[in-house]
Chains A and B, each alone.
Chain A
Amino acid sequence: MASDDIAIIGWAVSPMERRTAKSEQQMLFEVVTDAVDHAGITRADVDFTVAGSCDYVAGQAFSFVQNIDAVGAWPPKRDSHVEMDGAWALYETWVRLLSGDIDIALATGSGRSSTADPALIYPMEMDPFYLAPLGADAMSFSALQARALLDAGKVTERQMAEIALRSRASATSNPHAQVSGAFDVDAALQTDYVRAPLRKHDLPPITDGAACVVIARADKAREICENPVWIKGFAHYSELHNPGMRDLLTSPSTTLAAKAAGIEEAPVDFAEVQAAFSHEEVILREALGLGQDTPVNRSGGPLAANPVMATGLVRIAETARQIREGQGRRGVAHSTSGPCLQQNLVCVLEGDAR
């Protein structure tokens, strides 16, 4: 590794619950404590912190300000916040470490989705002139994208159910899964639509949760960590917001981000993608160039636990964990934001050659 490479050296993922009694601050306190412990450092060793969270989800303006108490800002630290998934917070820490003057940074993602009805929260992220006044939420837009895929013959309702089944069955071995276990596809396909053509099994659970990832520059990573997980590439791209003006069958921003992150430089052993709705996995597999034999979301993915604002960062932590546990040497983590996969982030991770 070159001395300016950067690696993940520690991480932590909170329990994933339908409704936690803990505040966001308490969830963060625990994942930050666990992640710096996992990295073998203390909060005082961290030079830069970035939080990803959302006031509309938290139900409080400037909610991230009090979260600083839990992350730890003493001695005074460089700190930043993104109103984005924690995956984008990690991206900012990575960019910051590239400048070379500091060695260790951590990113968090946190959200209590149980605070309110998602159908009322998520129109707030939409175009305020044409979309939000219609109460158009993320789930409804996802349904429009699923219908476009069905009409184009790119997926069937049964295949969507099978993606959900595979995800939840493999989540059985994930202690952080909120929803897991096999189900009967035939019976599931007889159930009512929640937002046609999406049924309950096509939807992510409503999840409270948080995650933290610690990264370090190469020399420091080698010094404190036996098996760092290297960030080989990291990029994100955005598309036009309004889904009515996009081709909903593809995700060009995912493809651009994947190329920029160097996905094509070597074979990919597995991926963790933020496909919160079953059909999104079909689009993302294609956009990332992953074949059907490449395992995707062995953790269960967002269909097993969807802590909004942390879901993407959990994908990165999961990818790092699977590499460290020897389930592959090169993995891809993906995160997304906005309606119908508007903005997409790709992080390529590798373990040391064995």
Chain B
Amino acid sequence: MPEVMSSEVVVIGGGVIGAAIAYYLCREGAEVMIVEEDDLASGASGACDGFVSLQTKAPGPHLRLAMESAQLFPELAEDLDVDIEYRRCGGLLLATSQEQMKELRGRAKALKAEGLEVEILAAGDVKDFLPEVGKEVKGGSYCPLDARVNPISLTLGLAKKAQEMGATILRGCKVENIVVTNNRVREVHTTAGSIHSRRVVCAAGVGSNQIGKMIIVDVPVLPQRGQILVTESREPVLKTLVAGAEYLGTKANIQALMPADAESAKLGLGFTAEQTASGNLLLGSTREFVGFDNQTTPEAMNAIARNALRYLPWVEDMDVIRSFAGLRPCSPDGLPILGTIKGIRGFYLATGHSGDGICLAPVTGVTISELVLDGETSLDIAPFSLYRFK
């Protein structure tokens, strides 16, 4: 006979978003239960890089959300018992053509207007940040507030702290159904039994569409595969985050910054590089729609390596020790889906973060916790409503 449980709030999903929401809810004294199908950080949060990048966000609500999130990281790093390896290391966005430079200049202007510090660099200035860059690099932009974090430590750290504050974490527990009566969420049926709860948060990442179906709501989140190469560990060689302008092109769908050749365009190839605290270089990445297939492919690995050599030729003699792929919960416009559902009280969406889940986790945690407990948020989340797509 399955057990009958109850909780003030049920958070579906033990990724970085679910863990952050649970953490901030617990800080407000709420009773929280995280229901995770597999294990903490077993999905996209455990298969990504650690970019906390501001200059790659779209000027407007998206950037404001990210800037708010960036401010929360230092405090989190203090409060969590796990070292989340948070460093405000700065980030470079490199252009390989004058057209890309022009686009970056325009963008930097828009970002500055929103209050973000961004500097345009000539090809010569880029050398101040990197040991050596490829001949194609024509310059770029630099944002000193860009940072990096260990996404797995962040997720585990948030969950651990939430647990210490009283949260229950059900691992290996799959949500099978959500019971709604009189326009209100009442119960969550799981493989570990029923949970009575009047507040349910969907932070299920790529599983959100499936969860939405249970309450007959279409949550437009598709899995987008991102492949990443891992090199051997080296002494510190990369101080900042580095990305190519094409990374921004494929992320924000900017025509002027799209990869030139057909194969790269098909893979959604955009260069990213970061050196983790353990010394490994993470080189990325791709944006592919291939369903729930999270394997890495030789074509993409070759393409990522070739692309990396274009920007940072000196990585040539480094050993690649592994590749991995994560499925990003991709929304139609690449922005998160945050907020309530019309006609069903007590159901909240916090999903569709696309490639920004790590960066936006703290602000999502704070905002959703406010929404769940107070019914209103200090930040305007109307631009992230599910109903913007209709």
Answer whether A and B are interacting partners: no
Binding site for B on A (CB under 8 A): none
